[in-house]
């Protein structure tokens, strides 16, 4: 049986999943620690309340453990896991009325900036996502979250959402255009209104085009 010991933090998610599949409970526990908060935030963004997001996060990991033998460790682990969570959410919404309670949800903070800068970035990101909640469809918000928070490619987003790559690209393009047409969003972007104001949009177009 593989042993993870003190090297857990140095292993990729894919390696942890492979070792968990081969019989290491410690490696699966490490995956839970690594992804639990991110899954919870994703499910909240999908429209679940806190309690339901807690339950579905746990259920997602239970199903992931049950079907770990089907995971192909040559592929990224995160899209596989988030696909399970997406299906869990879809099942939930088929039998429950959405709570649509998203207050206080923030994208995952991965910056290494100073605490003050990180706080300002989180506040700005929170305002942007609040505007996204108001302006975009659930599918558009889901696709944006997976791309800019979970850093998934267009191909991975297509797998998670069960769409074609072209459909995902079109949805991302429309979502971003709609956001950028809002004065509230423009005010939150760097150098809004200046000669360089188009740069963020051009950068995102490039990401989508090459995803």
106 versus 48: which is more confidently predicted?
Answer: 48
Q: Do residues 89 and 7 both lie within one domain?
A: yes
Q: How confident is the model at residue 202 (pLDDT cuts 50, 70, 90)?
A: very low
Lowest mean pLDDT among 28-42, 55-69, 79-93, 185-199: 185-199
- Tens-digit pLDDT profile for residues 58-115: 999 999 999 999 999 889 999 999 999 999 998 888 876 544 443 334 444 444 444 4
Does some domain include residue 108? no
CATH number at 47 reads: 1.10.1740.10
- The structure's pTM equals 0.61
Percentage of the chain beyond pLDDT 70 is 69
* Cβ atoms of 153 and 168 closer than 8 Å: no
User: Could you give the residue ranges of the DSSP H alpha helices within 22-137?
Assistant: 25-45, 50-66, 77-95, 115-135
What average pLDDT is seen over the chain? Answer: 76
pLDDT of 204: 45
pLDDT of 56: 92
pLDDT of 40: 93
End residue of a domain, out of 84, 103, 122: 103
**Total count of domains within the chain:** 2
102 versus 42: which is more confidently predicted?
Answer: 42
Tell me the average pLDDT across 32-59: 91
Classify residue 175 as left (phi > 0), alpha (psi -120 to 50) or beta.
Answer: alpha
Q: Do residues 119 and 31 both lie within one domain?
A: no
Residue range of the domain that includes 188: 113-211
CATH number at 122 reads: 1.10.10
Instruction: Report the first-to-last Cα separation within the chain, whole angstroms.
Output: 38
Does some domain include residue 40? yes
- Tens-digit pLDDT profile for residues 140-173: 888 888 988 888 999 999 999 888 888 888 889 8
Q: DSSP letter at 171?
A: H
pLDDT of 134: 83
End residue of a domain, out of 47, 80, 103: 103
pLDDT of 167: 86
């Amino acid at each position: 049986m593989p042993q993870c010991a003190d090297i857990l933090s140095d292993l990729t998610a894919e390696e942890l999943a492979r070792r968990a599949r081969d019989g290491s409970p410690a490696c699966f526990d490490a995956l839970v620690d690594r992804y639990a908060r991110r899954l919870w935030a994703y499910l909240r963004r999908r429209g679940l309340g806190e309690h339901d997001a807690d339950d579905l996060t746990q259920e997602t990991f239970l199903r992931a453990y049950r079907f770990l033998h089907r995971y192909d460790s040559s592929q990224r682990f995160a899209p596989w896991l988030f696909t399970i969570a997406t299906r869990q959410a879809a099942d939930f919404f088929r039998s429950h009325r959405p709570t649509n309670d998203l207050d206080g949800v923030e994208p995952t903070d991965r910056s290494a900036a100073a605490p003050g800068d990180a706080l300002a970035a989180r506040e700005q990101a929170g305002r942007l996502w609040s505007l996204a909640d108001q302006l975009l469809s659930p599918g558009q918000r889901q696709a944006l979250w997976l791309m800019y928070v979970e850093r998934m490619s267009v191909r991975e987003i297509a797998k998670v959402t069960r769409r074609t790559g072209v459909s995902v690209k079109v949805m991302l393009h429309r979502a971003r255009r709609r956001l950028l047409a809002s004065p509230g969003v423009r005010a939150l972007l760097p150098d809004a209104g200046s000669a360089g104001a188009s740069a963020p949009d051009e950068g995102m177009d490039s990401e989508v085009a090459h995803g």
